[in-house]
């Protein structure tokens, strides 16, 4: 197995300077953003507050934080939850004084888990005397990179004036997945469960 991997590695060296893959210029890829936003959409859709139709609510986001959540992700998640509450017949108020019920949101997770499996030779930097280092490409007999977006939300509604419980939704989770597989260096496939069909055509 080591001999085969070494042969493939040497065969790939002439190609290493010819192919450059650049997914994105911003700090975060679109795939990362889609993983988190899709997980947030799916978790939000599972939240249900049993409040009368037309109840005036104020959404309290003070506890809507997660250790890894970025501000943009948190804002998107809150907007997704507000969208769901509106579709459930509630009326959003810009001020808690105008509301009948305060809906307090909390986030248990809003991030990405990553798992990487590689059978082959990882990318490395080979030191060259008096010349620094030379990067070498990854040589994968089999490689699988899996990213999973995870969101977990909960909500509780209490009286704006008396502070008593009006409704509560158990914590609900949403997931999104992106997996990239490579076999024998050149044969690869990518699978997602979040991209619309129209995006896959481009």
Measured distance CA(59)–CA(82) in Å, rounded: 8
Measured distance CA(146)–CA(179) in Å, rounded: 4
DSSP state of 26: S
Q: Which domain holds residue 192?
A: 2-11+28-200
Range of lowest pLDDT (43-57, 58-72, 181-195): 181-195
At what angle are helices 30-45 and 71-87 packed, to 10 degrees?
30
Asked if pLDDT for residue 135 goes beyond 70, the answer is yes
Nearest to 81 by CA among 160, 10, 171, 14: 171
Whether residue 102 contacts residue 63, with contact meaning beta carbons closer than 8 Å, is answered with no
Query: CA dihedral in degrees (53, 74, 76, 197; nearest 10)?
Result: -110
Average pLDDT over residues 112-128: 84
- 64 located within any domain: yes
pLDDT at residue number 185: 67
Measured distance CA(102)–CA(104) in Å, rounded: 6
Whether residue 179 contacts residue 38, with contact meaning beta carbons closer than 8 Å, is answered with no
Mean per-residue pLDDT over the chain, rounded: 82
3-state SS, residue 65:
coil
Measured distance CA(189)–CA(23) in Å, rounded: 16
- 16 located within any domain: no
144 or 8: which carries more pLDDT confidence? 144
- 17 located within any domain: no
Q: Which two tokens stand for residue 131?
A: 């010349």
Structural domains of the chain, count:
1
81 backbone dihedrals φ, ψ, rounded to 5°: -70, -40
Asked if pLDDT for residue 168 goes beyond 90, the answer is yes
Measured distance CA(145)–CA(186) in Å, rounded: 15
Most confident range, picked from 52-66, 94-108, 178-192: 94-108
- 122 located within any domain: yes
Average pLDDT over residues 165-188: 88
Asked if pLDDT for residue 81 goes beyond 50, the answer is yes
Taking only the tens place, the pLDDT of each residue in 3-23 is 444 444 444 444 444 444 555
- 87 located within any domain: yes
Taking only the tens place, the pLDDT of each residue in 46-67 is 999 999 999 999 999 998 875 5
């Amino acid at each position: 197995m080591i001999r085969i991997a070494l042969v493939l590695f040497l065969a790939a060296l002439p190609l290493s300077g010819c192919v450059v893959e650049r997914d994105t210029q911003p700090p975060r890829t679109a795939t990362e953003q889609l993983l988190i936003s899709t997980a947030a959409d799916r978790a939000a859709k599972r939240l249900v507050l049993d409040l009368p139709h037309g109840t005036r609510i104020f959404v309290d986001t003070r506890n809507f934080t997660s250790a890894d959540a970025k501000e943009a992700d948190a804002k998107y998640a809150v907007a997704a939850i507000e969208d769901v509450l509106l579709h459930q017949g509630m009326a959003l108020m810009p001020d808690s004084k105008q509301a009948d019920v305060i809906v307090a949101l909390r986030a248990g997770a809003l991030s990405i888990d990553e798992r990487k499996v590689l059978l082959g030779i990882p990318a490395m930097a080979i030191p060259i005397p008096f010349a620094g280092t030379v990067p070498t490409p990854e040589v994968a007999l089999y490689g699988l990179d899996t990213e999973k977006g995870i969101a977990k939300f909960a909500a509780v509604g209490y009286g704006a004036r008396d502070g008593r419980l009006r409704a509560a939704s158990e914590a609900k989770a949403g997931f999104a997945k992106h997996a990239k597989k490579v076999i024998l260096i050149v044969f690869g496939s990518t699978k997602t469960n979040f991209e619309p069909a129209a995006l896959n055509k481009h």
